[in-house]
Amino acid sequence: MPLKEKRIKEIIGGLGKSKIMVLGDIMLDEYLFGSVSRISPEAPVPVVEISSDKFLLGGAANVAANIRQLGDEPILLGLVGEDEASIKLSQLLKSIKISNAYLINDKSRKTTIKTRIIANNQQVVRADRENTHEMDRDTERIVLGRFNDVVDELSAVIISDYGKGAITLSLLEKVMEICLKKDIFVAVDPKETHFHNYKKVSVITPNHHEAGFAYGKRIRNESDLNEVGNGLLKKLEAKSILITRGAEGMSLFRVNEEPKHIPTFARQVYDVTGAGDTVIATFVSAISSGADLLEAAVVANAGAGITVREVGTASVTPQLLEIELHRNLENGSIVKKK
C-alpha cells in the first residue's frame, strides 16, 4: 500500500500528541574531535590532537531525545549510577525538556559512557566505561513500580535493550503482560543474546546481522532474508519485524502479509551511530500518530536517511521528516503521489 502525499501530511500533523515510554539502557556518548599529523613513537598508532569535545545522549536516552524532537512526550525509565556522568546526563535531558524523574540511581553500577575519538571525520577508536550486570530484584521492583505509575497514560512502550542490565527477563515478562492486557503498542530494539525473550511484541527492529544471528542463518540474499524474517515472526509470535539493512534499506514482515522492501535514499553516509534509535523512535511516533505498520516503516526509513548524514547521534524533527518523505516520494520510493 503506497503512502500518498495526503497521508504524509496527516501522519506528520498527528505527531506531538502522545506519551511514549522508553525503557532500557541509558548511556552518555562522549565525542573527542581532532586531527592526526603523526604516529606515536610508543606504538604504531595515530596521535590525535584533540581540538573540541561534546556530550550527547546515547542508548535509550537517545531514543527519548528522538521522541522529543518529533514532538511527543518521552518518559525515560532506566538505570544510572551515582556519579558525575549521571549529573551530566540529567543536564542534557533537562536541556531538551525530558524529565529525569524516572532515572533510577543504582549504587552498584556506573553510568555507561561511550567515548569516541574522531579524527579527520573518521572514528579512530571507541572506549567504553560501563557495568553490564543485571539489576537486582529490589531495583527491578522500583523500576516496575515507576512503570505502573504512568502506564495508563502511554500510547506506546519502546524497549531499548543494549545488554547493560536494565532489561531482565522477569522485568520484560511483567511489562509485556501489562501491555498486552492494556493493548499498548510495544516496540523492541533488540540485543542479540536476548532475542528470544521478546515474545508477542508489536514490532522488533533488528539489523540484518542481529536477525540472522538470532535465527541461526546468515542473510546473504533475498531468499535468506525472507526465511529469517518470516521465521522470526513465527518464533516470536510478533505482530511485525522491521529488519534494517544498511544501504539496502529496510524490510517489513507482518503476520499473513507479503514482505515489503523499502529502499534507502540516504544521499551520504557519514555516521550510522544512533540510526537504530532513530528508526524505532520514528516508527513508534508514526504509529502513535495513526500510521499503520507499513506507513510507519516508510516514515522510519526517511528518519534513518536523515540521521546517517550527521556525525554523532542526530535527532529528526517533523519538518525535516516531511521534507525527506517528499524527497523520497519524488525519487520513486514505495511512497507514491495520489
**Each residue of 312-322: pLDDT tens digit?**
545 689 998 99
Q: Are strands 19-39 and 156-160 parallel, antiparallel or unpaired?
A: parallel
Tell me whether residue 22 is exposed, middle or buried, using C-beta atoms within 10 angstroms of its C-beta: 0 to 12, 13 to 18, 19 or more.
buried
Neighbours of 61 (CB within 10 A): 31
Q: 161 lies in a domain?
A: yes
Q: What are the tens digits of pLDDT across the range 246-259?
A: 878 899 999 999 99
Rg (CA), the chain: 20
- Measure the CA–CA gap between 44 and 65, rounded to whole angstroms: 39
- CA separation for the pair 317, 327 (Å, rounded): 15
C-alpha to C-alpha distance for 73 and 93, rounded to whole angstroms: 12
Is 124 a member of any domain? Answer: no
* Domain-embedded: residue 192: yes
Q: From the candidates 72, 224, 277, 292, which is the catalytic residue? A: 277
The predicted model gives 237-242 an average pLDDT of: 97
In this prediction, residue 221 carries a pLDDT of 94
Q: Which residue's entry shows cell 569535545?
A: 53
Pick from 157, 133, 191: nearest CA to 63: 157
* C-alpha cell recorded at residue 335: 511512497
Residue 20 · residue 186 · CB < 8 Å: no
* CA gap 129, 126 in Å, rounded: 10
Per the domain annotation, does 45 fall within a domain?
A: no
Asked whether residue 43 is assigned to any structural domain, the reply reads no
CATH no. for residue 144? Answer: 3.40.1190.20
Average pLDDT over the chain, rounded to an integer: 91
Q: Judge whether 277 counts as a catalytic residue.
A: yes
In whole angstroms, what is the distance from residue 129 CA to residue 83 CA? 12
Q: What is the domain extent for residue 79?
A: 5-30+58-111+131-331
Cβ contacts of 52 within 8 Å, gap of 6 or more: 32, 33, 34
In a domain, 44, yes or no: no
- Asked if residue 50 belongs to a domain, the reply is no
Is residue 163 predicted with pLDDT exceeding 70? yes
Name the domain count of the chain.
Answer: 1
Task: For cell 524474517, name the residue.
Answer: 229
User: Has residue 125 been placed in a domain?
Assistant: no
Give percent of the chain above pLDDT 70.
91
277: left (phi over 0), alpha (psi -120 to 50) or beta: alpha
Query: For residues 274 and 234, is the Cβ–Cβ distance under 8 A?
Result: no
Q: Output the pLDDT for position 315.
A: 63
The three grid cell numbers given for residue 172, joined into one nine-digit string? 520484560
DSSP string, 306-323: HHTTSSS-----HHHHHH
Task: Name the percent of the chain lying above pLDDT 90.
Answer: 80
Q: How many angstroms separate the Cα of 152 from the Cα of each of 146, 149, 204, 300?
A: 12, 8, 22, 26
